[in-house]
A = this chain, B = another copy of it.
Amino acid sequence: MRNIALTLSYDGTNYHGWQFQPELPTVQGALSDAITAICGEPRRLTGCGRTDAGVHALTYCANFETDATIPADRLPYALNSRLPRDISVSAAADVPPDFNAILSCNRKEYVYKLYSGDVHDPFRHSYAYFYPRALDLDAIRRAAAHFVGTHDFAAVRSVGTVTRTSVRTVFHFDITQDADTTTFAVCADGFLYNMARALVGTLLYVSEGKIDADAIPALLESRNRTLAGPTMPPCGLYLNRVWY
């Protein structure tokens, strides 16, 4: 039995997230259909994480087991010929039997994109969040630095999934600007449900003066979701990179 890892990217606009759901379009469902057409039904198809409805992936990793004999380097072309145009496989490789896209992943980076301007851009409605207010970048960066390190992130997760612990380690949290676009890049060993979007919402509250940048440690300490900023809409969020 081969274990094959795929690198893919997708526009999440038209999907109810990664994870398979009966009767609903999902990335896992679409990918599974394409694999079935080329390799026969895959034994297990594991993704590196659940992305929510409308969230995108610039780099996503998935693995599946199969007895098919097609060479790995021919899989991207073959799978792309069966995939909808908003999902694209860029690489495939045979990996050791114990490789698991989610369990073997030790670090992920999400980016969130905002853009400013006089009017919203109709071509970015699904790809960035229109935020036409001035940003206090100094305050945002000071607050973001407080999130870096190992903390209990219960204050910035949504209720929904049960996890063993809400302690995570954030490795970096960088904010950059390019023309009208501001990009928030946050890298951690794992993300709680809606954590990336709540972190960005909290930084915008800091920019708006609703939360003090140096109140972040106390906010984390409180573990109280109602003290943090809002969960941002999914359109601006991308899984950008995964590490193994």
Task: Say whether A80 contacts B123, CB under 8 Å.
Answer: no
Task: Say whether A119 contacts B11, CB under 8 Å.
Answer: no
CB distance from A53 to the nearest CB of B (A): 16
Interface of A, secondary structure class, is: mixed
- What 0/1 readout, one digit per residue, does chain A (129-170) give for beta carbons within 8 Å of chain B? 010000000000000000000000000000000000000000
Task: Say whether A10 contacts B88, CB under 8 Å.
Answer: no
A86 partner, pick from B80, B119, B122, beta carbons under 8 A = B122
Q: How many identical chains are in the complex?
A: 2
With an 8 A cutoff between CB atoms, is A111 at the interface?
Answer: no
Q: Which of A80, A87, A121, A122 has the most chain B CB atoms closer than 10 A to its own CB?
A: A122
Kindly report which residue of chain B lies nearest to residue A10, judged by CB atoms.
B122
CB distance from A36 to the nearest CB of B (A): 20
Distance, CA A121 to CA B90, complexed state (A): 10
Task: Say whether B130 contacts A85, CB under 8 Å.
Answer: yes
With an 8 A cutoff between CB atoms, is A89 at the interface?
Answer: yes
Q: Which of A77, A84, A120, A127 has the most chain B CB atoms closer than 10 A to its own CB?
A: A120
* Chain A, range 86-106, C-beta contacts under 8 Å to B: 86-90
With an 8 A cutoff between CB atoms, is A108 at the interface?
Answer: no
With an 8 A cutoff between CB atoms, is A197 at the interface?
Answer: no
CB distance from A81 to the nearest CB of B (A): 10
Distance, CA A90 to CA B80, complexed state (A): 38
CB distance from A180 to the nearest CB of B (A): 14
Distance, CA A88 to CA B77, complexed state (A): 37
- What 0/1 readout, one digit per residue, does chain A (69-86) give for beta carbons within 8 Å of chain B? 000000011001000111
- Partner-B contacts on A (CB < 8 A): 9-11, 56, 76-77, 80, 84-90, 118-123, 125, 127, 130
Q: List 14 A-B contacts (CB under 8 A).
A: A9-B123, A11-B123, A76-B119, A77-B119, A85-B120, A85-B125, A86-B122, A87-B122, A88-B119, A88-B120, A88-B122, A90-B118, A90-B119, A123-B127
